[in-house]
Amino acid sequence: MEISSLLPNLLCLFFFLHFASPVLPEYTRPPPRPLILRSHNQSDSHPQQVHISLAGKDYMRVSWITSDKKARSVVEYGTTPGKYGGAATGESTSYHYFFYSSGEIHHVKIGPLKPTTTYYYRCGGGGQEFSFRTPPSTFPVEFAVAGDLGQTEWTESTLAHVGARDYDVFLLPGDLSYADTQQPLWDSFGRLVEPYASTRPWMVTEGNHEIEIFPIIYPQGFKAYNARWVMPYQESKSTSNLYYSFDVAGVHVVMLGSYTDFDSNSDQYKWLQADLASVDRAKTPWIFALIHAPWYNSNSAHTGEGETMRVAMEDILYRARVDLVLAGHVHAYERFTRVYDNKADQCGPVHLTIGDGGNREGLALMFENPSPSISMFREASFGHGRLRVFNATHAHWSWHHNNDADSITADEIWLESLSSSSPCNDDATVTSNSPNDEL
């Protein structure tokens, strides 16, 4: 066959490929797995949506909801099943959102508690017995991390993988229920996570899906989030539940708010300066920070959304030698090298995006190409992270993606604390032989 006879066909093929190819969207999210809705089928006084959170040194806050508005805010607890030597009373609240009325939301602080000890407890003076284990007072300590959780079958898969291996504290960098003003979904989320959140402290910060502002009627936002997920902001001298800090073992964790004021005149900015200035690195050699919208991101989703906050606050974290920044929002995983002001910097924090808990919106599949030189690993899969702090100088980070029923380690790295890194700390007295893959 002569080439001239093929030419029309080749031209047609060229024009088809060039002009008739489907235009790809900025990024494509695969069909998400279905929502899991957990209903409540027990009595009005039955404690539901039980979760716990750290509430200052040696104290734990127990939170739950009852349909019965007159149920007591009391927690009985002890170290032997069925025997409750301790009891504490707390407070309760409720809220309305248009035609929705919440149940009675109870918050009770219990303690002082011993470290690394299993406590058995029940809420409201009766009903089901729960148990939790307090974190250790010294290293090692292990955190499990997943953001943008939602309440789908992917969420259930991620939580099953989190629960399959022991850990001390769960960290959630924003976007919990994806209720998005549909308030019963907050209740369903609370029931879904109860088996995990009632046994280990859940420390959360807010994402954009917690805002739930409705102009004029609910202009402040965070109505459900602040009522249901009270965090230790008063215990850490913050005036807002939207940002706070806590210590666990030798780690100081700063939970920042991406959706409240953060400029240099803001309360959050001033609080962060004071909070980090008060850190004693001899007691807490490690500092981690959590935000929702990542400051560093090479995914096509949510490009630049964390930039204003980065410009405002990055210098404070850098000067305080924060070791690690964990973010959510982008539904994928990405690990950056140590970075400051968009450049690799051996004294800057490692930035990690881990907004891959399994929400209904699906994955953010498209990354910018070529990959920025400061981006070390990136993958659009659901999963969770593990941060095991072995001692004052070394920690191990690993990311485990969900391979349906299995949880597979896809990325891992050794970290050396900046407080022990002589180039970044003039007072450092500890040096170490670094493994090859260490940052």
CB of 201 or CB of 207, closer to Fe ion: 207
C-alpha span between 142 and 304 (Å, rounded): 31
Query: Which residues are 251's β-sheet partners?
Result: 248, 286
CB of 151 or CB of 199, closer to Fe ion: 151
Q: Residues in the site for Fe ion, rule: CB under 5 A?
A: 175, 207-208, 329
Strands 141-145 and 251-255: unpaired
Nearest C-alpha neighbor of 384 from the set 189, 197, 156, 179: 156
Assigned token pair, 358: 């399994």
Minimum distance from residue 175 beta carbon to Fe ion (Å) = 4
Q: Measure CA 292 to chain center.
A: 8
80 CB burial (10 A radius; 0-12, 13-18, 19+):
exposed
CB of 293 or CB of 424, closer to Fe ion: 293
Q: Is the peptide bond before 232 cis (omega within 30 degrees of 0)?
A: no
Q: Measure CA 14 to chain center.
A: 48
Residue nearest to Fe ion (CB): 329
Assigned token pair, 63: 């939170």
CB of 241 or CB of 393, closer to Fe ion: 241
One-character DSSP codes across 107-171:
EEEE----TT-EEEEEETTSS--EEEEPPPSSS-EEEEE--S--SBHHHHHHHHHHHTS--SEEE
CB of 200 or CB of 329, closer to Fe ion: 329
Name the catalytic one among 51, 161, 209, 302: 302
CB of 144 or CB of 293, closer to Fe ion: 293
For residues 412 and 399, the answer to whether their CB atoms sit within 8 Å is yes
Quick one: which H or E segment has residue 270? Answer: helix 267-277
Catalytic residue flag (residue 302)? yes
Residue 233: φ, ψ to 5°: -75, -40
Residues in contact with 47: Cβ distance below 8 Å, sequence separation at least 6, in sequence order: 64, 65, 66, 71, 106, 122, 123, 124, 127, 128
Residues noted as catalytic: 302
